[in-house]
Amino acid sequence: MLELIPNQLGFPLLSLMIFVPLAGAVILLAVRDARAARWIALLFSIAEIGLSVPLLANFDGSIAHMQFGESLPWIKDWHINYRIGVDGISVLFVGLTALLTTISIMVSWTAIQDRVREFMIAVLFLEAGMIGVFVALDLFLFYIFWEAMLIPMYLLIGVWGGPNRLYAAIKFFLYTLVGSVLMLVAILAVYFSAGGTFDVLALMNHPFGHTFQMWAFAAFFAAFAVKVPMFPFHTWLPDAHVEAPTAGSIILAGILIKMGAYGFLRFSLPFFPSAAISWTPAIMTLSVVAIIYGAYMAFAQTDFKKLIAYSSVSHMGFVTLGIFALNSQGVEGGLLQMINHGVSTGALFLAVGVIYERTHTRMIADYGGIAAKVPVYAAYLLIITLSSIGLPGTNGFVGEFTILLGAFQYKAVYAVIASLGIILGAGYMLWLYQRVAFGTVTNPHNEHLQDMNLREIAAALPLLVLVFGVGLYPNAAFQVMHASTENLIKHVQAKAALAPVAAQAANALLGQ
Amino acid sequence: MEIGMRDIVFLCVALLTTIPCLIVVFSRNVLYSAFALFFTFLGTSGLYFFLDAEFLAITQVVVYIGGVSVLLLFAILLTKNVDEIRKTNMISGPRMALAGAAALALLGSFLYALKGARWAMNGNAAYPATTIKGLGDLLLSKYLLPFEIVSILLLAVLVGSLVISRRSVQ
Amino acid sequence: MLTSVQEILKQLVPIYPEFVLIAFALSVLVVDMFLNGRYTHLLGWYSLIGIVIAASMTIILGGVQGAFFSGTVLLDPFSQFFKLVFYLACGLGILIAMKYLDIEDIHRGEYYALMLFATAGMMLMASAGDLITIYLGLELMALSIYVLAGFMRKDSRSNEAGIKYLLLGAFSSGIMLYGMSLLYGLAGTTNLDGILAFLRTADLKNPVLFLSMVMLMVSFGFKVAAVPFHMWVPDVYEGAPTSVTAFMSAGPKVAGFAVLLRVFTHTLDPLHADISLLLSGLAVLTMAVGNVMALSQTNIKRMLAYSSIAHAGYALVGVAAGGQEGAASVMLYVLIYAVMNMGAFGVVIMLRKAGMRGEEISDFAGLGKTNKTAAFLMLIFLFSLTGIPPMAGFVGKFYIFKSAVQAGMIWLAIVGVLFSAISAYFYLRVIMLMYMYDPKEEFGLVQSPALALALAISVTAVIVIGVYPTPVLEFARASVAGLL
């Protein structure tokens, strides 16, 4: 049984991580100057990275328990507490969030000229929300952060996005909202059926009946599957990605869509294991469909960003495939691949942002032969492309390989089809690179293209380090998550075995 | 069931109430409607007599027939182009059918409900107060507060009518 | 002589707050006669003093409980909670009205007097222990508001609003009286506790009982703007002066819910099963029509009118859920709704200035550029109305749906949250216009200290309740205890 180990650091680390960006946002409210707003936002986001250093340094990967725990009574009448903590599943996301937010602010330095202050407020508010989602251990608290995030993301897309931003923003908002509100009802049902608690750790151990699990799982699935996004709930993603400003795309691809998969790991599986097992064939099938469909659609795209968006659908298919294989390789691979995808897709969107700022076009056909003009950029893009394909030595390889191992153990056919997706992935990415970088310069506008400047390189560097770091020494990541994923698998199996016994009791509860 | 004198008189009073009601609604001339309303009020007053509520019946005559309907007539006659009003009182076919059906359904459900009713005040129970003295006692004791609220209410209405009718904002 | 005066005053203690408001209303009328027209706004501040005094009296009287004046008036935490909401609604209504009345050239003392009369009426409704008090309080409130709705005498839409509201209001009063008289005929008493005592032993299959219950539901449904008794709402909300619309959407609606709760969860509690079924049907209809019709509106007041219908639907879910939790959730909800809706109207009213109506949704285009503060406030109010955390609107909806799930009405909660998600579309449209479009023309907004104060109060309440609802929630839950 998981416990919440109280924070031993002498200062509320996780709370600081939530409230430092918020404080930054509040301070920005009083700032008028755009330059000052950029620096303040950068300062606060770097402070957040600074905070994640003691978090990662002091995290004990050998135990599965929730660490750095904090618990304060919040709304007593409803038994709601402000409970936060991290385990091996969430800790890496907290670090990734801090990193990607800083990178987003750096790439927006010159790209965002309009309403800079408001932009930075939205980004910092979003960061607080994302950290909150990953550390919340109370369902109510989680839901607050989960929904609150919609506001800044909606504004980021809608205000600073591309020409079709209004449509994309509202589509993003409504899709995710509909999924979320269904989850809200399920959260309430869970609350009452467990005797009135929102405590995630307590709910993990509550034996819900099988029928109840089936319904509640479906409702949670509505929220998470939209967020992932799983086929066929993915249609908002290409629009949102294409229209969002670079910073928005990086955060969206890097963090936001991971939350769906994180939700499966944190809530759906531990709460409703027997339902998860019943739903597995369907979800595995959807995952495989997403892998192939995403890759197929990526081939057909002429828009740089849209191609990456569809590749995300395909890659997230791998993640859910791994998670619902429900064995340790699958889950660990899925988790690692979420981090990897955050890094490499974040890096890809950064690459698009860099070049878009210079040419103001996202059409692949408008490029070609730029390798000769911007060698640093071309090299950077190549590394990221290879990482996205999953070349051995890069992070992508480790994740996908582990997932395929897990899927193979579940059912060989899924692994076989999924590996087809890897081949397709290599196809569209290399073709993309070829069209953009090689050949002769076809577009006269690209004759005098500027290469990446120091700021952009500085923003890209940490991502490159992670690409090779995780690729060459994946154990660093596995060590952090291993205890938690092992525990999760055991928990799921043990609790699923119990379910039939508890089913009657819970059914009686439901029937009232 | 034996039909006595009382029943016949009741029937007459009831018809006196309801038939003018129909004229009020269906007449194309608003003046006729106003006159018909006069008889409806009278009939209602008669119904109050049947309920042994003499004071209420007399008040009804004084206030509604003496006051309200006369005021109403004045208002109509002071209105410009009363003839035009005929045009506003148009009743369209489908809407009328719909309204009629709804009214009949409502009437049916009322009849059904009231038929099976068992009332608390059945038979010859002693009514709390029907005389002026009794009513006065009640109004100044048990219902003192509602009585006072009514006076505030009337005040508010007075202020309201002032607002509506005052010539213009200074 | 002196002792008898003291004796009378002592007996009046339970209705001191109402007394104070009426006294202030009367003195407003008198002072108005001698006051230069330029200083009429002082009467607004003067009325606010009256509200503050009445509010402090209500708080002081918090310890006093029981039935007074032969049971026609009840003092209990339930009524005190609602009275405080009314003070808030009336206070905010006066604050946002002051400047606006100047612009519309209808700034007169009677406005404030009628506001105070209406508030006194609402307070009597919340305190009523007798059907007669309910009726009279309701009429006092309604008659004052009919006039307020038609306060712009030169504006045909305002006239239409006043007349329409009056005619339909009178009709619904008639239905209510019919229902009440049937109930009286059955129970032999108009006292609410007496009726409850009668129902506890009575044959509940009696069709007349059902009939009278339905009639009461129709008339209360009219007051809270439940579908299908909502036809008047869009026209009246659109035509009435915006400050009155704001007050109407908060005050009378909340008062309607006070009576609805008192009568349906207390007095008619033995009929709970029937009531719950009917009310959940009403709730679904109300949420559906309100939200769907709001989608296609182009006038901000009409949109907020349909939105207010939709919100009545959410609150009805709580009434249908019933029980302590259901009632408490409705109380919390109407409080939050009153604050956030008044706030939204406060921003709408800023757009009205000489030569510009500022009632079209498209008038909001580019507000995020021309007036950042106003746009930001509107953003907060609209997200709160949508029910997105960390705004108070979320807490309110959460509690409503929580009580529905607790009462075993999961289907109703699902319907509710789905319509709530639909509502995001039309609220977001305004946000989109404010932030994502360029302004059509440069324009300054109307500002005044009173309006700023009203907006500051609302936005603070929306955020504080949203982030830390515990005190308000405990207050609502404690207040419901006396009801059941």
Instruction: List chain A residues with CB under 8 Å of C408.
Output: 512
Question: Residues C17-44: pLDDT tens digits?
Answer: 999 999 999 999 999 888 887 888 899 9
Question: Residues A359-390: pLDDT tens digits?
Answer: 888 888 888 888 888 888 888 989 999 888 88
| C323-341 average pLDDT score | 94
What pLDDT shows up at residue C178?
Answer: 92
Burial A341-363 (b: 16+ CB within 10 A, else e): bbbbbbbbbbbbbbbbbbeebbe
What pLDDT shows up at residue A21?
Answer: 93
DSSP string spanning A19-37? HHHHHHHHHHHT---HHHH
- Cα C431 → chain centroid: 25
Of C383, C402, C436, the CB nearest to A165: C436
Which residues are CB-contacts of A320 (< 8 A; sequence separation ≥ 6)?
A228, A230, A261, A264, A283, A286, A287, A290, A334
User: Is residue C420 within 8 Å of A174, Cβ to Cβ?
Assistant: no
What pLDDT shows up at residue A512?
Answer: 41
Please, which residues bridge with residue A73 across strands?
A81
Q: Please, is A4 exposed, middle or buried when counting C-beta atoms within 10 Å of its C-beta (0-12, 13-18, 19+)? A: buried
Q: Please, is B140 exposed, middle or buried when counting C-beta atoms within 10 Å of its C-beta (0-12, 13-18, 19+)? A: exposed
Question: Residues A226-246: pLDDT tens digits?
Answer: 998 888 888 899 889 888 898
What pLDDT shows up at residue B114?
Answer: 81
Minimal C-alpha gap between C418 and chain A (Å)? 7
Which residues are CB-contacts of C451 (< 8 A; sequence separation ≥ 6)?
C95, C96, C98, C99, C346, C349, C350
Q: Which residue type does C143 have?
A: L
Beta strands A4-6 and A66-75 are parallel
| C418-447 average pLDDT score | 85
pLDDT category at C56 given cuts 50, 70, 90 is: very high
Rounded CA-CA distance B22/B12 in Å is 16
Minimal C-alpha gap between B162 and chain C (Å)? 9
Question: Which of A421, A346, A340 is closest to A92 using CA atoms?
Answer: A340
Which residues are CB-contacts of B70 (< 8 A; sequence separation ≥ 6)?
none
Residues in chain C: 484
Question: Residues A107-116: pLDDT tens digits?
Answer: 888 888 888 8
Question: Residues C209-253: pLDDT tens digits?
Answer: 889 999 999 999 999 999 889 989 999 999 999 999 999 999 999
Provide φ and ψ at C128, rounded to 5°: -60, 135
Question: Residues B61-115: pLDDT tens digits?
Answer: 998 888 888 888 888 888 766 666 555 555 667 878 888 898 899 889 888 888 8
pLDDT category at C482 given cuts 50, 70, 90 is: confident
What pLDDT shows up at residue B78?
Answer: 80
Question: Which of C96, C142, C116, C129 is closest to C47 using CA atoms?
Answer: C116
pLDDT at C265 over 50: yes
User: Is residue C330 within 8 Å of C257, Cβ to Cβ?
Assistant: yes
Task: For C153, name the nearest residue in chain B, comparing CA atoms only.
Answer: B164
Alpha helix (H) ranges present in A75-209? 91-111, 116-135, 139-148, 150-160, 165-193, 200-204
Rounded CA-CA distance C239/C156 in Å is 8
What pLDDT shows up at residue B85?
Answer: 56
Asked if C473 has any chain A CB less than 8 Å from its own CB, the reply is yes
Burial A404-442 (b: 16+ CB within 10 A, else e): bbbbbebeeebbebbbebbebbbebbeebbebbbeeebe
Please, which residues bridge with residue C68 across strands?
C73
Burial B45-58 (b: 16+ CB within 10 A, else e): bbbbeeeebebbbe
Interface of B with C (CB under 8 A): 109-110, 112-114, 116-121, 141-146, 149-150, 152-153, 155-157, 159-160, 162-164, 169-170
Rounded CA-CA distance C337/A446 in Å is 56
Question: Residues A287-344: pLDDT tens digits?
Answer: 999 999 999 999 888 888 889 999 999 999 999 999 998 888 899 999 999 999 999 8
Of C114, C132, C133, the CB nearest to B160: C114
Burial A133-169 (b: 16+ CB within 10 A, else e): bbbbbbbbbbbbbbbbbbbbbbbbbbbbbeeebbebb
Minimal C-alpha gap between A273 and chain C (Å)? 22
Please, which residues bridge with residue C66 across strands?
C75
Q: What percent of chain C has pLDDT over 70?
A: 98
Rounded CA-CA distance A333/A341 in Å is 12
| A189-204 average pLDDT score | 90
Using CA of residue C348, residue C351, residue C357, residue C359, what is the dihedral sign? negative
Instruction: List chain C residues with CB under 8 Å of B153.
Output: 136, 139-140, 143
Write down the ipTM of this complex. Answer: 0.92
Provide φ and ψ at B29, rounded to 5°: -110, 120
Q: Which two tokens stand for residue B57?
A: 């019946």
Asked if A508 has any chain C CB less than 8 Å from its own CB, the reply is no
Q: Which of B48-52, C235-239, C420-424 has the lowest mean pLDDT?
A: B48-52
Asked if A208 has any chain C CB less than 8 Å from its own CB, the reply is no
Alpha helix (H) ranges present in C351-469? 367-370, 372-386, 392-406, 410-436, 449-467
Provide φ and ψ at C71, rounded to 5°: 80, 5
CB pair distance less than 8 Å for B118 and C203: yes
Rounded CA-CA distance C173/A401 in Å is 74
Q: Which chains touch B (3 or more CB pairs under 8 A)?
A: C
Q: Which residue has the higher pLDDT, A63 or C358?
A: A63
What pLDDT shows up at residue B81?
Answer: 66
Asked if A26 has any chain C CB less than 8 Å from its own CB, the reply is no
- Cα A23 → chain centroid: 24
DSSP secondary structure letter of residue B76: H
CB pair distance less than 8 Å for C211 and B109: yes
Q: Write out the H or E segment, with its range, that includes residue C107.
A: none
CB pair distance less than 8 Å for A166 and C436: yes
Minimal C-alpha gap between C435 and chain A (Å)? 6
Question: Which of C434, C423, C245, C444 is closest to C345 using CA atoms?
Answer: C245
DSSP string spanning C308-334? HHHHHHHHHHHHHH-HHHHHHHHHHHH
| C148-159 average pLDDT score | 88
Rounded CA-CA distance B86/C140 in Å is 34
What pLDDT shows up at residue B170?
Answer: 45
What pLDDT shows up at residue A187?
Answer: 94
Asked if C146 has any chain B CB less than 8 Å from its own CB, the reply is yes
Minimal C-alpha gap between A398 and chain C (Å)? 38
Q: Which two tokens stand for residue B80?
A: 């410009």
- Please report where in the chains the tokens 């309110």 appear, as a residue: C396
| C73-102 average pLDDT score | 93
| C336-360 average pLDDT score | 86
Q: Which of A167-181, A489-503, C212-226, C458-472 has the lowest mean pLDDT?
A: A489-503
CB pair distance less than 8 Å for C70 and B143: yes
Q: Computed over its alpha carbons, how large is the radius of gyration of chain B? A: 21
pLDDT category at C141 given cuts 50, 70, 90 is: very high
Mean pLDDT of chain C: 91
What pLDDT shows up at residue B80?
Answer: 67
- Chains B, C: CB contacts within 8 A come to 99
Instruction: List chain B residues with CB under 8 Å of C16.
Output: none
Q: Write out the H or E segment, with its range, that includes residue A245.
A: none
Of A158, A191, A192, the CB nearest to C436: A158
Q: What percent of chain A has pLDDT over 70?
A: 97
Q: What are the structural domain ranges in chain A?
A: 272-512
Q: What distances in angstroms separate CA A221 from CA A123, A191, A310, one per listed residue?
A: 27, 17, 21
Of C22, C108, C185, the CB nearest to B169: C108
pTM of the entire predicted model: 0.92
Rounded CA-CA distance C236/C145 in Å is 11
